[in-house]
Each structure stands twice: as C-alpha cells, then as structure tokens.
C-alpha cells in the first residue's frame, strides 16, 4: 500500500487485544502503538477512564504496552487536550507526541500554533470523527431518568447509528439521540452546534462512519505524515487495510451531511433564543452578572494562552461581580478565534452560557469576513492576535 493524501481505507488492528477492547476494529490504538514503538513519536497523549467512565483522565504514555489503557471511547469525557500541549508538554517543541483528537482538540492546536504555543510539526494528529460528547453530570442523569439504570452499573457507553447506548451487566440499553435532545438531555450544546464532524486538519481522520460489512475504522489520509504512518504500520503488520466499498463512501458522505444539517438547525435555534439588539445585550448583561471573576473562562481558552488576570483589570481589584467591561474585553480578544470547544461554559462555576455567546459572535464574524478559526494557520481578521504574544522571538505563524 502506498497511500496518498485524500485516500480512504478500512483499517483493522492485527493485535487481538485492540480488536476486543478498541472501537471499530482497534485501528487508532494500533496506529498509536506503532508510532511509539517505531520511534516516530516520543510519547502518546491519551485519555483513560478514571474512577468510572464519567471520569476522563489525561495520561502521557511512553511505554507501548500501556496503549491498551486508552483504547475505546469515552463520550462522557469532555476534556480539551490542546491546552495540555501548551500547559504541560512545552508545546511539543522538544518532544514528538501522537494523540487521538476530537475536532475541537485539533482546532485548538491550530489556534495555539498561531500564537507560538505549540509546534505542529512535532504532533502526530489522529483525528476522530465526532458527533459530540456528553457531560458527566448529564450522562448520570440520563442513566437514571431515561434508561432506568444505575449509573454506577454502566460498564461501557457508545454512540452508534443515531443512538446513545449504555451497556450494563443486565444488557444493552439504547435511546435515539433525537429523543434525548428533544427532552433536554444528550450532547453538550456546543457539540450540537459544531460543524467539524470529520477533522481533516489532522494527519488522519478516523471513525466508523461509512464502514459496511466488516468491523473496521474508516481512515481518510489528510497529510503526508499520516500517509507515511499508515504505510509503515501496514508494512510492519500492526494493521491491515483495504479499500472501502462504494456504498460505504456514499453512506459516510450522507452521515456527515446530515450531521452538518442538524448542527445548522441547532445554531438557528440557540442563536434565535438570544434575541437581537437591546434584548440580546440585556440578556448578555443579566447572565454575566453572576460572574465571580474566577478567570476559568480565560485560563481554559485556546485563543488566550498568554492572558493573565492583570490583563483584565477594568475596575477595582476584587470587585465581584466585575464590570460588564470585563466580559466585553474577553469577547473582543477572542472574537473570531472562538473554536466553540465549550470549555468556558462547561467549567464556569456560575453556569454562565459563555460558549453560546462567544460562538454566536464568532459565527456572525465568519459570515462577515469569511475567516474560520482552527481550520488552518491563516490569521484572524478581527481580534488582535498580537495582544498576548510573548516577546521572545515568536512570529504570527506560530513558528520560531
């Protein structure tokens, strides 16, 4: 096999453990293990189950034998891995790292690269098709109220063919995702609005959409680096690959388009609820009046890696709630760089819908100027990217 950018394959692991424990034929786990064993990377950043499947714990792996610890899905784990690269791994500037990443993780890395915080050349990105994640609290609530099962008895969860599925010792229980979300359950609101379902900015885009007649991962080659990994992994016997059936290509395209259409419907619904003009501003002021100025929304944002609390001093020190200018300053600095990762909302202790507000602003700016955050290394057109740059030799491309 000599894969090229744009090629598509059905890929399966050859390791029995990955076939049993991993998702869709275990290809992602097999590729991560091969990358580590072959010396292509120094470490793998992954997510494993912590106290239970509602507890996602990031882990850095240097021993290939431990890759099985991160096999399988955790839809109730809502971490944003991109900030971990800049906060704990030195931006991968002196370390080659592979990771399986959701669309928002990939977009976050691109935004950090623009700000000189990560070195993309040293990051091997295995993008994961993503229909969305569910907060741990919501998952537990769903288990009790919709599935009538003890959340602590759940052994595994997954999303497949439009259904959310819990597996317990008594069997599998499923409910259509549409039904869940019509009743106020289901995915995080930012995930519902997301339009990056197949992260083609990664080196490989991996998922189950389009797989017919076999247990495998549908892999799309998105870069020369991804093509090289796939070729060498197959030659080593780590994976086996075959061409997808024509019907699979058709199905994959239809699923992606249906997910995009659904995301557009959710955008219209969520943004319409914000109102317009003075009504929208009043709602924004009322919601943010609960702010306790904990700075979490700033600390977790991939568009603000250099921000410090002192950069947001707009009134007396310690004043709570802060003046509305505190929020308008943050909004103006993120502006069209918002990737809709949802972290600023999910981690807000006062339940302020920060991501909803920020995403609505970003979409409006996208329509005006055509710039879309996280898609590539092009620079934003509105927000002052230079505002939080270090002075030590970083340029706008994110390279040194």
Digit-coded pLDDT (tens) for 59-102: 999 999 999 999 888 889 889 999 999 999 999 999 999 999 99
* 133-169 tens-digit pLDDT: 999 999 999 999 999 999 999 999 988 888 999 999 9
Question: What would the mean pLDDT of 25-45 be, rounded to a whole number?
Answer: 97
- pLDDT band (50, 70, 90) for residue 386: very low
Which residue shows structure tokens 């999303």?
159
Residue 388 has pLDDT above 60, yes or no: no
Kindly state the average pLDDT of the residues 355-367: 94
Mean pLDDT computed over 25-54: 95
pLDDT digits (tens, 9 = 90+) for 110-129: 999 999 999 999 999 999 99
Distance from C-alpha of 222 to C-alpha of 106, rounded to nearest angstrom = 13
Residues 189 and 243: their CA atoms lie apart, in Å, by 36
Q: What share of the chain is helix, strand, coil (3-state, %, to 5)?
A: 45, 15, 40
Q: How many beta carbons lie within 10 A of that of residue 309, not counting itself?
A: 12
For the ranges 246-250, 310-314, 364-368, the one whose mean pLDDT is highest: 246-250
Contacts of 280 (CB under 8 A, 6+ apart): 274
Q: What is the pLDDT of residues 196-254, one digit of tens each?
A: 999 999 999 999 999 999 999 999 999 999 999 999 999 999 999 999 999 999 999 99
Q: What is the CA radius of gyration of the chain?
A: 21
Q: Please tell me the pTM assigned to this model.
A: 0.92
If pLDDT is split at 50, 70 and 90, which confidence band does 392 have? very low
The phi and psi torsions of 321 (rounded to 5 degrees) equal -70, 155
pLDDT range class, residue 21, cuts 50, 70, 90: confident
Dump strand ranges (E) for 38-180.
Answer: 43-49, 56-61, 97-101, 123-128, 156-160, 163-168, 171-176
Helices (H), 121-222: 136-145, 177-182, 189-193
Over residues 273-301, mean pLDDT: 94
What is the band of 322 on the pLDDT scale with cuts at 50, 70, 90?
very high
pLDDT at 317 over 80: no
Which of 370, 344, 372, 374 is CA-nearest to residue 357?
A: 344
Query: What are φ and ψ of residue 221, in 5° steps?
Result: -80, 125
Q: How far apart are CA 62 and CA 42, in angstroms?
A: 7
399 has pLDDT over 60: no
Which residue would you say has higher pLDDT here, 318 or 48? Answer: 48
pLDDT above 90 (res 310): no
Q: How far apart are CA 4 and CA 16, in angstroms?
A: 28
pLDDT of residue 159: 86
Distance (Å, whole) CA 92 – CA 100:
15
Helices (H), 237-314: 246-272, 277-288, 296-299
Instruction: Give the pLDDT band of residue 391 (cuts 50, 70, 90).
Output: very low
Which pLDDT band, with edges at 50, 70 and 90, does 342 fall under? Answer: very high
Residue 396 has pLDDT above 50, yes or no: no
Give the pLDDT mean for 275-298: 94
Q: Are 238 and 15 in contact (CB under 8 A)?
A: yes
Give the lowest-confidence range in 181-190, 245-254, 310-319, 340-349. Answer: 310-319
Low-confidence winner among 240-254, 296-310, 331-345, 373-387 (lowest mean pLDDT): 373-387
Other CB atoms within 10 A of residue 46 CB: 22
pLDDT above 90 covers what percent of the chain? 81
Across residues 178-195, what is the average pLDDT? Answer: 95
CB atoms within 10 A of CB 267: 18
Cβ 206 vs Cβ 26: under 8 Å: no
pLDDT of the residue at 383: 65
């Amino acid at each position: 096999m000599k894969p090229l950018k744009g090629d598509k394959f059905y890929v399966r692991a050859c390791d029995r453990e990955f076939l049993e424990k991993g998702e869709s034929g275990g290809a992602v786990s097999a590729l991560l293990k091969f990358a580590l064993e072959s010396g292509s990377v120094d470490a793998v950043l992954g997510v494993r189950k912590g106290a239970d499947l509602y507890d996602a714990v990031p882990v850095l792996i240097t021993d290939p034998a431990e890759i099985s610890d991160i096999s399988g899905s955790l839809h109730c784990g809502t971490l944003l891995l991109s900030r971990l690269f800049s906060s704990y791994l030195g931006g991968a500037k002196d370390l080659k790292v592979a990771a399986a990443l959701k669309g928002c993780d990939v977009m976050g890395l691109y935004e950090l690269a623009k700000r000189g915080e990560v070195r993309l050349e040293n990051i091997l990105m295995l993008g994961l098709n993503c229909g969305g994640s569910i907060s741990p609290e919501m998952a537990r609530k769903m288990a009790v109220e919709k599935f009538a099962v003890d959340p602590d008895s759940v052994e595994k969860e997954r999303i497949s063919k439009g259904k959310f599925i819990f597996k317990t010792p008594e069997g599998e229980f499923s409910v259509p995702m549409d039904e869940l979300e019509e009743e106020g359950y289901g995915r995080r609101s930012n995930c519902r609005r997301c339009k990056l379902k197949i992260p083609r900015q990664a080196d490989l885009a991996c998922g189950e959409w389009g797989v017919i007649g076999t247990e495998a991962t549908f892999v799309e080659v998105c870069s020369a680096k991804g093509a090289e990994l796939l070729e060498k992994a197959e030659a080593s016997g780590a994976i086996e690959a075959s061409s997808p059936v024509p019907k699979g290509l058709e199905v994959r395209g239809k699923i992606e388009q249906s997910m995009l259409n659904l995301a557009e419907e959710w955008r219209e619904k969520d943004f319409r609820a914000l109102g317009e003009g003075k009504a929208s501003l009043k709602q924004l002021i009322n919601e943010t009046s609960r702010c306790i100025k904990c700075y979490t929304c700033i600390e977790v944002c991939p568009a603000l890696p250099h921000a410090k609390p002192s950069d947001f001093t707009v009134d007396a020190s310690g004043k709570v709630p802060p003046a509305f200018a505190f929020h308008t300053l943050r909004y103006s600095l993120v502006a069209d760089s918002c990737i809709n990762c949802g972290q600023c909302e999910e981690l807000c202790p006062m339940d302020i819908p920060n991501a909803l507000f920020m995403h609505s602003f970003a979409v409006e700016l996208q329509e005006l100027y055509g710039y879309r955050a996280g898609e590539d290394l092009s620079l934003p057109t509105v927000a002052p990217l230079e505002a939080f740059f270090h002075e030590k030799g970083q340029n706008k491309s994110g390279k040194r």
